[in-house]
Amino acid sequence: MARPYTPLGSGPLHEFAQQLRELKGRTGLSFVQLADGAPCSMATLSRAARGERLPYWPTVKVFVEVCGRNLGYTEKQIETEIEIDEWQARHEIADAAVREITRLKAQHLLDTRRLSQMADVIARTHRSSRPAPHTQFAAALRTQQLSVGMINEQLARRAGFSLLDVFRILSGGVLPSWATTRRLAAVTNADLAVLKPLWEQERENLTHRSG
């Protein structure tokens, strides 16, 4: 029998676990019932939402799909109504945040404010169904990143940024300063002549949204 969940605290890991618990809660089913016919065990589904460690993406995908089917959605509806892509984005942000927390702990730099900020990034991703505001600029950066075969961890290390900040920029969640853009371009060999018009346009859009 699965042991009862412990109350969740703050931080990105617990924020992500809370989202999984809320999705399961919508089904009204126990984990034993959810696991019936699922490609993984009841224990695996239960651990995913426990908040003790971040589950791997394949486990999260199964969790979300199982909940979707039990909510009466077809496979196509699961993609749109449950928003698999959105869940993957949340998982990637949570993963980046957990890695950043590990780094900050090792350097004795982790405090409540930083932890709260990381959780807030995931919460806002969960609560907003709108596309990220800086997607064109981010897409150009990601394309260049892929062309040089560089993963996020390498980009963060070489540019001197946190992994969480790199992911927020590449996911389109935040528009970096031009100085930051130049550093990212230098690391990925991106053409500033291509990036600058996109950056300027999205900066102008941001100004209009703030006005």
> What are the tens digits of pLDDT across the range 6-55?
666 667 788 888 889 999 999 999 999 999 988 889 999 999 999 888 99
Query: In this predicted model, what pLDDT tens digit does every residue of 139-172 receive, in sequence order?
Result: 888 888 888 888 777 888 899 887 778 877 887 7
**CB-based contacts of 84, cutoff 8 Å, min separation 6:** 61, 64, 65, 78
Same domain, 120 and 152: no
**CB-based contacts of 44, cutoff 8 Å, min separation 6:** 59
pLDDT at position 30 is 92
Query: In this predicted model, what pLDDT tens digit does every residue of 91-125 receive, in sequence order?
Result: 887 887 777 777 766 766 555 565 555 555 555 55
Burial of 76 (0-12, 13-18, 19+ CB in 10 A): exposed
Same domain, 17 and 82: yes
Query: Is pLDDT at 201 greater than 70 in this prediction?
Result: yes
Please report which confidence band the pLDDT of residue 5 belongs to, taking 50, 70 and 90 as the band edges.
low
Please report which confidence band the pLDDT of residue 181 belongs to, taking 50, 70 and 90 as the band edges.
very high
Last residue of a domain, one of 99, 127, 155: 127
How far is 97 from 152, CA to CA, in rounded Å?
13
Tally the domains of the chain: 2
Same domain, 156 and 201: yes
Same domain, 20 and 116: yes
Same domain, 47 and 119: yes
pLDDT at position 78 is 79
Please check whether residue 153 lies inside any domain of the structure: yes
Please check whether residue 58 lies inside any domain of the structure: yes
Same domain, 74 and 23: yes
Q: Are 86 and 118 in contact (CB under 8 A)?
A: no
Between 73 and 102, the more confident residue is 73
| pLDDT mean across residues, the chain | 80
Last residue of a domain, one of 77, 101, 127: 127
Same domain, 144 and 179: yes
Please check whether residue 4 lies inside any domain of the structure: no
Last residue of a domain, one of 95, 127, 159: 127
Give the CATH number for residue 197.
Answer: 1.10.260.40
Query: Is pLDDT at 67 greater than 80 in this prediction?
Result: yes
pLDDT at position 130 is 43
